[in-house]
Amino acid sequence: MKTQRAIKYSATQNMLLGISCMLVSLMGYSQVSSRIDSTAIKIGAELLYEIQVKTDSSTLVVFSEGQTFQPLEVINSYAVDTTKKEGYYQLTKTYGLTQFDSGVYTIPKQKISLGGKLFYTDSLKVQVNPVQVDTTKQKLFDIKPLTEVEKSPASFWGGFALFLVTSLLISGLFYWFVWRKKPLSEAEKIAALKPYERAKLALEKLDEEQYFQNEEIKTYYSDLTLILRQYLDEKVYEQSLESTTDELVQRLKTLKDANQIALSPETLQNIETILKRADLVKFAKSKPDFELARFDKSTIELEIDHVKEGLPEPTEEELLQDLAYREAIAKEQKRKKTKQIIALAFGAVLIALTGFIIRSGFTNVKDTVLRNPGKILLEKNPWVSSEYGAPGVTISTPVVLERQNVELPEEMKGKAQVISFAYAGINTPIDVFVNSSKYAAQTGEDGKEKDTPIDVLKVAEGVLDTFENSGAKNLITRNEQFITPNGQEGVKTFGTAEFLVGETLIKSEYIILGFSTPNILQQVILTWKENDDYADQIVDRILNSIELIKLKEDEK
């Protein structure tokens, strides 16, 4: 990136060097001159443009051909008229030019080759006038005065309503999914109970009468013994559900003998009797009567109480295991809530983005989220207003312009002082150059100093040549008057081009502002990518901030 930035800064120095060399040519003698037969024509009328060359008979002269006079068009190219003068030949080439839009146009300099050396004609300004309208046939009306229109409150209330609805929706989602205490389902309520309470509740809901009415005695005993086995599985023997009746009873007796649980012989006998009766019902199709089934249920309720009473106090290890289990459950609930919050936050962001897009437009929101460099530069606050060079150019820019080192050609050293400031780079949405130059007065034939005339149009053409030498293609140029906010007049050269950035041609726009007084040249040069709305706004703001600082007489 530094290399590419250096390339741009080097191009800046080359541009300034081209300006200096252009001024050297302005102060030298020329064998080529040009003129036009009129400074004002009507739309579509022919303007005669003459180029006169003084040379000898042995020098090859090549005139410009093709559409090199844009923005004017060549409609005729006349034959060269040769006149022999004292010691030289005068060649006169005439072109017929025209323009079909009214306005002030500048005929660019033309390249003439004399014996392989290039010479340039002067730039000439021409006024193209519109066709006059006969007002006797079409009555003219006065311009209507400005009418104040009340700003509609619809925009404000629309935005406020959107904000209110979005806020209420987000708040409602947060309450419903995060803060609201959600009611537990029946299954969740039962699962949250302790094993003893869960067993007692299951026995209460076991309606033996309903089973007998539907002749589902087998299902009844299966459910009854399952309640007992589940309780024993959780509190006494963890393989109670998989064990046979004999295995389970034997295991209970072993635990009793090992003093791991206090069970009476009667309790063991009742558990064994009911489990074996259930086996007979399930496998031998035995059918106990209703009263016996009710008695067995009551017995199971009683023996579950006895088992609970016979359980030893939990050890410290068991308490720690229970604590770890509870912590794991809490972590799982916290993780679930975190996921809900993330999903809700994502939904809220999506809703907010949708609201902003509806209100501000997709492009504006996209550029804000993706940090468009042009938008960032435009919205920098505050902008920097500073004076650059001597004489100074006051200009407001998003960032401070950096001073550049300018190497002048040998023939200009001691004759000119060029100061340049720039903000430019490969990733900058706009490049800004401010140049301020002072030139020494020339000494005339009478030995007196005289001011150095500076043609800002010719200097601008030198900048365009620098663009071309740096790889720019398809330059389209127009010229017009430019007046600063403090009333200083200058020339604005502007148009489009394809600038070479790295190895890619980028469609861009440019503006070259030139201001001159005797021995002084001031320039502001802007280049930016075409169809960049943010860059266009930056350019407008910069142009509206330019002011020139006038030198006092003793400073000139």
Domain boundary residue among 264, 285, 311? 311
Mean pLDDT for the chain overall: 79
Non-local CB neighbours of 15 within 8 Å, separated by 6+ positions: 433, 463, 466, 467, 525
Q: Which candidate, 293, 270, 330, places its Cα nearest to that of 203?
A: 293
| Per-residue model confidence (pLDDT) at position 156 | 47
Phi and psi torsions of 80, nearest 5°: -75, 130
Centre a 10 Å sphere on the Cβ of residue 439 and count the other Cβ atoms it contains.
Answer: 22
Residue 424 lies in a domain: yes
Residue 143 lies in a domain: no
Tell me if residue 216 falls in helix, strand or coil.
coil
Q: What are the angstrom distances between the C-alpha of 39 and each of 75, 109, 127, 240?
A: 18, 16, 6, 115
Share of the chain above pLDDT 70, in %: 76
Q: Which candidate, 474, 469, 477, 543, places its Cα nearest to that of 513?
A: 543
The answer on 442 and 339 residing in a single domain is no
Q: Is the pLDDT at 277 greater than 80, yes or no?
A: yes
**Better pLDDT: 312 or 395:** 395
Residue 406 lies in a domain: yes
Lowest average pLDDT, out of 289-293, 360-364, 432-436, 470-474, goes to 360-364
**Better pLDDT: 347 or 526:** 526
Q: Is the pLDDT at 90 greater than 60, yes or no?
A: yes
**Rounded CA gap, 423 and 9, in Å?**
9
| Per-residue model confidence (pLDDT) at position 4 | 39
Residue 165 lies in a domain: no
Burial of 204 (0-12, 13-18, 19+ CB in 10 A): exposed
Q: Which pair of tokens denotes residue 152?
A: 């509609």
The answer on 476 and 526 residing in a single domain is yes
Q: Is the pLDDT at 257 greater than 70, yes or no?
A: yes
Q: Any idea of the CA torsion for 82, 85, 88, 90, to the nearest 10 degrees?
A: -30
The answer on 285 and 245 residing in a single domain is yes
pLDDT band at 63 (very low <50, low <70, confident <90, very high): confident
| Per-residue model confidence (pLDDT) at position 421 | 92
Q: What is the mean pLDDT of residues 427-442?
A: 84
The answer to whether residues 107 and 36 touch, using CB atoms and an 8 Å cutoff, is yes
Burial of 350 (0-12, 13-18, 19+ CB in 10 A): exposed
Centre a 10 Å sphere on the Cβ of residue 212 and count the other Cβ atoms it contains.
Answer: 17
The answer on 532 and 396 residing in a single domain is yes
Any idea what the CATH number is for the domain that residue 389 is in?
3.40.1000.10
Non-local CB neighbours of 508 within 8 Å, separated by 6+ positions: 496, 497, 498, 499, 527, 528, 529, 530
The answer on 84 and 7 residing in a single domain is no
Q: What is the mean pLDDT of residues 403-428?
A: 80
Residue 149 lies in a domain: no
The parent domain of residue 112 ranges over 32-129
Residue 54 lies in a domain: yes
Q: Is the pLDDT at 266 greater than 70, yes or no?
A: yes
pLDDT band at 552 (very low <50, low <70, confident <90, very high): very low
Residue 137 lies in a domain: no
pLDDT band at 555 (very low <50, low <70, confident <90, very high): very low
Any idea what the CATH number is for the domain that residue 106 is in?
2.60.40.10
Lowest average pLDDT, out of 3-7, 143-147, 344-348, 540-544, goes to 3-7
Q: Which pair of tokens denotes residue 543?
A: 């142009």
Tell me if residue 320 falls in helix, strand or coil.
helix
The answer on 333 and 292 residing in a single domain is no
**Total domains, the chain:** 4
Domain boundary residue among 294, 311, 328? 311
The answer to whether residues 399 and 410 touch, using CB atoms and an 8 Å cutoff, is no
Q: Is the pLDDT at 318 greater than 60, yes or no?
A: yes
Tell me if residue 459 falls in helix, strand or coil.
helix
The answer on 490 and 377 residing in a single domain is yes
Is pTM, for the whole model, over 0.75? no
Q: Which pair of tokens denotes residue 82?
A: 């040769």
**Rounded CA gap, 16 and 408, in Å?**
8
> CA end-to-end span of the chain, whole Å?
41
> For strand 103-107 and strand 81-85, is the pairing parallel, antiparallel, or unpaired?
unpaired
| Per-residue model confidence (pLDDT) at position 107 | 86
Lowest average pLDDT, out of 38-52, 164-178, 186-200, 298-312, goes to 164-178
Residue 134 lies in a domain: no
Residues 374-384 have pLDDT tens digits of 888 888 888 98
The answer on 516 and 424 residing in a single domain is yes
Centre a 10 Å sphere on the Cβ of residue 365 and count the other Cβ atoms it contains.
Answer: 18
Domain boundary residue among 311, 342, 357? 311
Q: What is the mean pLDDT of residues 326-340?
A: 77
The answer on 409 and 289 residing in a single domain is no
| Per-residue model confidence (pLDDT) at position 7 | 38
The answer on 514 and 419 residing in a single domain is yes
Q: Which residues of 449-469 are buried (b: 16+ CB within 10 A; e: fewer)?
A: eeebebbbbbbbbbbbbbbee
Centre a 10 Å sphere on the Cβ of residue 427 and count the other Cβ atoms it contains.
Answer: 8
The answer on 512 and 363 residing in a single domain is no
Please, which residues bridge with residue 507 across strands? Answer: 498
The answer on 345 and 262 residing in a single domain is no
Q: What is the mean pLDDT of residues 354-372?
A: 69
Residues 497-551 have pLDDT tens digits of 998 887 888 899 999 999 988 788 889 999 999 988 888 999 999 999 998 876 4
